[in-house]
Amino acid sequence: MSLIEIERREAGAATIAIVRFNNPPKGYMNAAMVGELDAAVDGLLGDESVRVLVFTGALKGVFIEHYDVSELLALSEKLRAKGASFSLDRLSPESGYHRILARLEAAPKPVIAAINGTAMGGGFEFCMACDIRLAERGPYWLGQPEINIGILAGAGGTQRLARLVGEARALELSLMGRTVSPDEAASLGMVHAAVDGPVLDHALTMARRLAAQPPRAVAHIKRLVRSAAETPLSQGLAQERTLFMDLAVSDDGHRLMGEFVAGTRTIRD
Mean pLDDT over residues 111-137, rounded? 98
Burial 39-70 (b: 16+ CB within 10 A, else e): ebbeebbeeeebbbbbbbbbbeebbbbbbbee
Whole-number Å distance between alpha carbons of 204 and 143: 24
Got the DSSP string for 136-187? E-SS--EE--GGGGT---TTTHHHHHHHHH-HHHHHHHHHHT--B-HHHHHH
pLDDT digits (tens, 9 = 90+) for 221-268: 999 999 999 999 999 999 999 999 999 999 999 999 999 999 999 998
Look at residue 93 in the predicted model and tell me its pLDDT: 93
Q: Which amino acid is at 14?
A: A
Whole-number Å distance between alpha carbons of 235 and 87: 33
**Active-site residue, from 10, 125, 230, 240:** 125
pLDDT digits (tens, 9 = 90+) for 79-109: 999 999 999 999 999 999 999 999 999 999 9
Q: Do residues 115 and 139 lie in contact, with contact meaning Cβ atoms separated by under 8 Å?
A: no
- As a whole-number percent, the residues of the chain with pLDDT over 70 amount to 100
Report CA-CA distances (Å) from 1 to 17, 37, 182: 20, 14, 30
Look at residue 238 in the predicted model and tell me its pLDDT: 98
Mean pLDDT over residues 41-52, rounded? 97
Whole-number Å distance between alpha carbons of 154 and 126: 11
Whole-number Å distance between alpha carbons of 18 and 8: 6
Whether 146 sits among the annotated catalytic residues: the reply is yes
Look at residue 165 in the predicted model and tell me its pLDDT: 97
pLDDT digits (tens, 9 = 90+) for 129-144: 999 999 999 999 999 9
Query: Average pLDDT of the chain?
Result: 96
Look at residue 106 in the predicted model and tell me its pLDDT: 96
pLDDT of 269 higher than 80? no
Got the DSSP string for 73-131? HHHHHHHHHTT---BTTBPPPP-HHHHHHHHHHH-SS-EEEEE-EEEETHHHHHHHHSS
Whole-number Å distance between alpha carbons of 10 and 193: 25
Q: Do residues 39 and 72 lie in contact, with contact meaning Cβ atoms separated by under 8 Å?
A: no
Which CATH number applies to 4-212? 3.90.226.10
CB-side neighbour CA atoms (13 Å) of 125: 23
Whether 125 sits among the annotated catalytic residues: the reply is yes
- Residue 54 pLDDT class (50, 70, 90 cuts): very high
**Active-site residue, from 10, 77, 146, 240:** 146
